[in-house]
Structure 1
């Protein structure tokens, strides 16, 4: 009987160890994505600032170092259900968008590869007439007066 008890303790300990190992792996992968998001936010903010200084347009691919084919821009007051419907899948990162931000979602072949909650005070994407852009179309004008970004339709 004591052997069974020891066996049970070993099995229980193994289950706990595996669970902790998996949890750490998930946490570490989330941290990596957090660093990627922070780097993207910094690059985008700097590019918007430099474009605004001269009233220039920029292409979003200038600040991304990952592969994507479609950009979705979700503006304030969009709810999670609208995000899911627009993406055409049940993306677990879908959430309500607050007044102070826009959510940029980068998709590759129907799968979300990156998302970024971007503060409107650093670059306001909320004035677009459309909110889904192919990689080639993802060109935005940053007016010198600091108003909202607009879609640069005359992208070369």
Structure 2
């Protein structure tokens, strides 16, 4: 009985810690919402809105599969937003040193978002286009 309890505890500990450093950044989400509300703005400079270290950010469109997210990121990331079955959000995932450090769920707000022909954003090339 002690062995089974130990195994269950170990599994729960591993599952609980697997993405413990990954945080949904609701402050960033609110900042993006405020920018999008201004109909005169057509671009978001993400680096000016972040207060954490990152070297790459990926913007995933609605209905992006978990497999595609993993392939593009190059790391295992369990998408907590379930974007693969949603059309109401975009998912913005930040990496630092090949580790996911933050993510944001960006409500579409009757807009589309894109990063043009870029594969991902960097702190020096950080603009997201707002298409109304």
TM-score for the superposition, normalised by structure 2: 0.70
Aligned length: 121
Paired residue for 1:103, among 80, 88, 91?
91
Picking from 70, 78, 94, the partner of 2:56 is: 70
Checking the alignment, whether the CA contact within 8 Å between 2:43 and 2:128 is kept in structure 1 is yes
Deviation per residue, 1:70-104 (Å, 9 max, x gap) = 11011022111000000112223375252111110
Contact kept, 8 Å, 1:71 with 1:104, in 2: the verdict is yes
2:102 corresponds in structure 1 to 114
Q: Which runs of 5+ in 2 are unaligned?
A: none
Higher helix share: 1
Gaps (5+ residues) in structure 1?
Answer: 1-7, 148-156
Q: Aligned to 2:121, what secondary structure does the other structure show?
A: strand
Query: Whose relative contact order is higher, 1 or 2, with alpha carbons under 8 Å and at least 6 apart?
Result: 2
Structure whose residues are more often strand by fraction? 2
| Greater radius of gyration (CA) | 1
Contact 1:41 1:116 in 2 (8 A): yes
Judging changes above 3 Å, is the alpha-carbon distance between structure 1 residues 111 and 117 closer, same or farther for their aligned structure 2 residues?
A: same
